[in-house]
Amino acid sequence: MTEDEDRADAWFHALADRTRRDILRRVLAGEHSVSALAARYDMSFAAVQKHVAVLERAGLITKRRQGREALASGDVAAVRSVGAMLSDLESLWRGRISRIDELITTDTEPTEKPEPKER
Amino acid sequence: MPVTNVTPDLDQLTLTIDAEFAAPVERIWQVYADPRQLEKVWGPPGYPATVVDHDFTAGGRVTYFMTGPEGEKFAGYWDITGVDEPNGFTFDDGFADADFNPNPDLPVSKNGFTFTAGGAGTKARYVSTYASAEALQQVLDMGVVEGSTAAINQIDDLVA
């Protein structure tokens, strides 16, 4: 239980920073070298390296070396479980359903109806 | 709150979403039967959909592309496998190239949508089935960008 709580602390600490959240989104989509990641941010390479290290310590990403490069990817076991994938998909569906809701709501509000505006 | 139930089946790789809409079944059917309405609801924010062909009959094909924030296009198609107006329809959802030729290297999901009278007006059930975890991941990596970002964005709210 304490172990889980410690892990949650590390996750939320790691994710409480917008750069780190952005890094995580990018490495979940595919493996990136730390220098490729750093190119996108207006901060030093060392600062980006530190962000990557925080994410790595929290178990959210893994790093491997290839030649002179450190390649980071979202941790498959921790983050990419099938359950998480289905909930990702869920948010897509929630979006679609709320857009249908908006669409049908406009039916009942004639002022909102996109009637021809040209005159 | 229109979504009433979400049932992920981790063994079958199926996601079932139940929703309720404050409109009659025929109105919800119309959202799918009218390509101009369908494109308003299908693409995630930042990825608006454009429906090109819309042969909404069994054996027919619907083609669409989503346009990303940098102008990139993600094309897809539905092969309609069954239509029961206005109660629902089934289709295979796949990815395509720029000319809408199905891409055989990318996964196809099987989908069933059903609409029944009840609740606030219509109860809708959306069932999507994927062939494998890899297929699911590929789909998420493709145009379905909103999926993963929206999930992570919820953490923004939590830690705000």
pLDDT tens track of chain B, all 160 residues? 578 888 877 667 888 989 999 999 999 999 999 999 999 888 887 788 999 999 999 999 999 998 888 888 889 999 999 999 999 999 999 989 989 999 888 889 999 999 999 988 999 999 999 888 778 777 776 655 444 444 444 434 433 3
Instruction: Note whether residue A6 is domain-resident.
Output: yes
Q: Is A106 on the interface with B (CB under 8 A)?
A: no
Instruction: Note whether residue A91 is domain-resident.
Output: no
The shortest C-alpha distance from B153 to chain A (Å) reads 9
Nearest residue on chain B to A81, alpha-carbon basis: B133
Are B40 and A87 inside 8 Å of each other by CB? no
Q: Is A105 on the interface with B (CB under 8 A)?
A: yes
Q: Is B33 on the interface with A (CB under 8 A)?
A: no
Q: Does domain B3-159 have CATH number 3.30.530.20?
A: yes
Token pair 């750093």: residue: A38
Q: Which of A15, A91, A99 sits opposite B41 (nearest CB)?
A: A99
What is the mean predicted confidence (pLDDT) over A17-32? 84
Which of A86, A87, A96 best tests the B interface by mutation, with the highest count of B CBs <10 A? A86
Q: Could you give the percent of chain A with pLDDT greater than 90?
A: 19
Neighbours of A45 (CB within 10 A): 13
| Helix orientation angle between A2-15 and A18-29, rounded to the nearest 10 degrees | 100
Task: Please give the Cα distance from A82 to B56 (Å, whole number).
Answer: 32
Nearest residue on chain A to B156, alpha-carbon basis: A16
Instruction: Note whether residue A104 is domain-resident.
Output: no
Instruction: Note whether residue A107 is domain-resident.
Output: no
Check: CB of residue A28 under 8 Å from CB of residue A79.
Answer: yes
Instruction: Note whether residue A101 is domain-resident.
Output: no
| Structural domains counted in chain A | 1
Nearest residue on chain A to B31, alpha-carbon basis: A100
- What's residue B127's pLDDT? 94
Q: Which of B118, B98, B113, B127 is nearest to B56 (CA)?
A: B113
Q: Is A40 on the interface with B (CB under 8 A)?
A: no
DSSP B44: P
Strand arrangement, sheet containing B49-54: B3-9, B14-21, B121-129, B109-118, B88-96, B73-84, B61-67, B49-54
Query: In whole numbers, what is the pLDDT of chain A averaged over residues?
Result: 79
Task: Please give the Cα distance from A18 to B158 (Å, whole number).
Answer: 13
Q: Is B149 on the interface with A (CB under 8 A)?
A: yes
Q: Is B142 on the interface with A (CB under 8 A)?
A: no
Handedness of CA A18, A21, A26, A29 (dihedral sign): negative
Q: Is B120 on the interface with A (CB under 8 A)?
A: no
* pTM (predicted TM-score): 0.62
- What's residue A53's pLDDT? 93
Task: Please give the Cα distance from B140 to B67 (Å, whole number).
Answer: 16
CATH number of the structural domain spanning residue A18:
1.10.10.10
Burial B31-44 (b: 16+ CB within 10 A, else e): bbbebebbbbbbbb
- What's residue B114's pLDDT? 96
- What's residue B15's pLDDT? 87
Instruction: Note whether residue A86 is domain-resident.
Output: no
Residue range(s) defining the domain that contains residue A19: 1-77
Nearest residue on chain B to A19, alpha-carbon basis: B156
ipTM of the complex: 0.75
Instruction: Note whether residue A22 is domain-resident.
Output: yes
Instruction: Note whether residue A106 is domain-resident.
Output: no
In Å, what is the CA distance from B159 to each residue of A8, A17, B6? 12, 9, 24
What is the mean predicted confidence (pLDDT) over A57-64? 86
The shortest C-alpha distance from B13 to chain A (Å) reads 8
